[in-house]
Amino acid sequence: MAHPRVVPRSRRCADSSAARVGDDAVRASLAAAASIHLPEWPEALTPHVLRHYCASQLYAGGMDLIAIQEVLGHAWIATTLHYIHIHRTHVEDAWVAGQQRAAERLKGLVTP
């Protein structure tokens, strides 16, 4: 069964031709989808907020910064860094993993 599009690519005009969907239609469709699927979302879900969220999720999922920069179409990596919001648990997990790797490397070099 085909699912309806959350955001339509085009809209039908009175003469049955298709017109490009404008920014207002995209924002309205996104707001409607958010109210149904993300009722607990604390702020307005705009395309810009969605870009930040997606960039953050890609990074948290293990995608490297250069790949995210390419996906977002940024010329400068510094711009991409503004889009990525790192959760504290991600930092803590990375710290613990680094400590474990360091301990493994030192095993056998340090005698008790």
Would you state the structure tokens that stand for residue 106, as one six-digit string?
């030192």
- Read off the pLDDT of residues 54-94 as tens digits, 9 standing for 90 and up: 999 999 899 999 999 999 999 999 999 999 988 888 778 88
Task: Give CA separation, 59 vs 25, 35, 64, 65, 74, in Å.
Answer: 29, 26, 6, 7, 15
Whether residues 60 and 112 share a domain: the answer is: yes
Give the number of domains in the chain: 2
Give the number of residues written for the chain. 112
Question: What does pTM read for this prediction?
Answer: 0.59
Whether residues 70 and 110 share a domain: the answer is: yes
DSSP state of 5: P
Whether residues 31 and 74 share a domain: the answer is: no
Whether residues 67 and 109 share a domain: the answer is: yes
Over residues 35-55, mean pLDDT: 82
Q: Which domain holds residue 72?
A: 48-112
